[in-house]
Amino acid sequence: MIERYTLPEMGQVWSDAHKYELWCRVETLVLEAHARAGTVPASAVGPVRSAPPPTPEAVAAIEAVTEHDVIAFLTAWADNTEPRSAAAYVHYGMTSSDLLDTALAVQLAEATDIIVTKADRLVAALRDHALAHRNTLRSGRTHGVHAEPDLWGHRVADFAFAAARSRDRVRRAREAVAVGKLSGPVGSYSNIDPAIEAEVMPALGLRAADAATQVVMRDGIAEWVSALAVLATVCEAVALEVRHGQRTEVRELAEPFRSGQKGSSSMPHKKNPIRSERICGLARVVRSYVTPVTEGIPLWHERDISHSSVERIALPDAAIATDYLVHLTTGLVEGLVVDAARMRANMDLTNGLLYSSGVLLELVSSGMSREDAYALVQAAAMDTWDNQTPFRDALLAQGKSRNMAIDELALDRAFDAERYVGRLGGVFDRVSRLT
């Protein structure tokens, strides 16, 4: 992921320097377990433990010759070990994927913890915003068209619950990826005792794979990327709502616009929803990694490396992009400008049409058949659409032309927007308990 979208903490998780630190940690824990078991000389442990991790530059220089990253790492680390002979027992009984998959599992767990912490803040921001607007009337929309009166807090509550569910999916996916293996070539423990794996995994905060070939099966990693994609897409849903609300014709919502910020190089009046658009764009990036990562589940026999090149790009990118867009979405919600007066004014744009459902039910309750009531209300609605006749007037005219009496008190009830406030108390009670 490019630096523009990489936050420091997540960037550190996926840095080459941190990767080699983890590789050193895994190899050292294995060496120590071997020494305790008497498999290798205990004298090898101290020098290896004291050897600093190799620099990415040192590993890259050797890999340019060997074309094998693990061998390059082991050689560069051996160069830092005094005496160098102690390094002979590093990687004892292991295969490359023992190191790669186990260290990757630690990285995935670390990345997940960062994302979940940020998602906690997002859920809290959405919860608080929903509660702050539990009485803010607005036009509910279906197909982009005014439907019925609604509450802005209700719309945001839906986002809050979706964000919480998505966060919990990511948290569960952590269990699926915090899995390592130290079982040697083809996973048969041919040159390493299963007791070594059982001892090292808890020290890394991992569990051992129930069974592994030369690699850990990729279904857990596919689950993890899929969970990130859902979280990213929920963030996109929030951002898309803001983008619509910030359109000039709507103007109910607006992203925060800082002093000194510029919206356009040519049009000084512009205040564009750039954060929301960036969130929507990056969500596409995260989703795009689901298929190639999932295709890493079927490999040839006990192992090939067709998954490896994909994961080197996809896993850091998915984590970094999700981390960034969750952070961006939280800031968007916390700074969101809501024009409650504009929301209320927009409800009147269609001359009362968004009360048609309530009118229909009032007429049915007064004794009119549903078919007659629907025909009357629809005819009045078409008059309002076509001629801008106030909907209430159009209803009374249709009733008169059809010799159908319409109770004006019933219309008063149907046209009372305030009756929508308070109907959603249960939703707001539930959202208030989100953590």
Q: Catalytic residues, which ones?
A: 143, 264
- Of 273, 286, 275, nearest to 232 (Cα)? 286
261 by Cβ neighbours in 10 Å (0-12 / 13-18 / 19+) ranks as: exposed
Q: Where are the alpha helices (DSSP H) in 133-218?
A: 152-177, 194-203
Tell me the backbone φ, ψ of residue 142, rounded to 5 degrees.
Answer: -125, 140
Q: What angle do CA 30, 31, 37 make, to 5 degrees?
A: 90
Q: Is the Cβ–Cβ distance between 147 and 346 less than 8 Å?
A: no
Beta pairing class for 253-254 and 179-180: unpaired
298 by Cβ neighbours in 10 Å (0-12 / 13-18 / 19+) ranks as: exposed
Q: Is the Cβ–Cβ distance between 364 and 383 less than 8 Å?
A: no
Q: Is the Cβ–Cβ distance between 216 and 181 less than 8 Å?
A: yes
- Look at residue 332 and give its three-state secondary structure: helix
Q: Is the Cβ–Cβ distance between 63 and 101 less than 8 Å?
A: no
The answer for residues whose C-beta is within 8 angstroms of residue 363's C-beta and 6 or more apart is 373, 376, 377, 406, 410
Residue 252 DSSP symbol:
S
The answer for residues whose C-beta is within 8 angstroms of residue 427's C-beta and 6 or more apart is 154, 157
Buried b (16+ CB within 10 A) or exposed e, 230-252: bbbbbbbbbbbbbbbbbeeebeb
The answer for residues whose C-beta is within 8 angstroms of residue 242's C-beta and 6 or more apart is 253, 255, 273, 276, 332, 336
Buried b (16+ CB within 10 A) or exposed e, 367-376: ebeeeebeeb
Quick one: how far is CA 131 from the chain centroid? 22
